[in-house]
Chains A and B, each alone.
Chain A
Amino acid sequence: MKVNLKKWMRTNGAYVAIWILMGFIALGLVIYELGIYTLAVIIPFLPPFIIAMIRMVQELRK
């Protein structure tokens, strides 16, 4: 899938912003409940998340 990221962001930037905001609110709620232990539910999932982000950008450029 060949996608122009800049163009895509221009049309869909608002959606991305909403998702990021929702993500931070959800993270805030979890931190409010779990405190420092939030790290225990985030750290194990960081490696797949980071690879997923890198791969997604790579595949969009193809």
Chain B
Amino acid sequence: MAGQSDPHISLFSAEEVEFMAEDELIEIVPNMRMDPLNFICGDFGPFLPQIATQVPLWLAVALKKRGKCAIRPPQWMSVENLTRVLEGERDTQGAFQALPFHYVEISRLLFDHARDDIPDMYMVRSLVEDIRDVRIHKVETSLEKFSGTSAVKIPNLSAMEVNIIRPFVGRALQAFYKHDNPEKIPDVDRAPSGHTRVANNEPRRPLRR
């Protein structure tokens, strides 16, 4: 697997991916009263005690750190659903189960900051970890079967998984391309990400900072 610390081969660090995931919306139950917040990305609120509202994850975490809200874990993050997903992942070798694009990051953030809001926290955590392991293993094995193609399509791959395989896949595709057309030799090192977009059609969001 490609090392993430090397900027040449990894596009984003895990922190950066997490940062992008913080734009996902999540439901919180505030315990304070506050007027609506107007952000560039939209208006959130008003915040009324005990009335659930949707906010970006980063805001939820910030409020949670100050003890101003409880985060409601998303629907998919229930023991039943995760158990089902895990079974599905184990049963079907080729395909991936539908999970949010940022499931790794969201669950990581919630486990870190809102552990008291997640029922059966340990169970959920171990399930998510299992799912992640199974999926990454699957990604690796499917990459072994990788042969000369110009594009790879894997539905339901999540951001973190894409990020891990992106450099390798990119370079591998470049290499295939190079071998196919020896006369046009692109500079692999200068444009590692350029033409290849693996899997998910999710548009890349520009960084905020």
Whether chain B is bound by chain A comes out as no
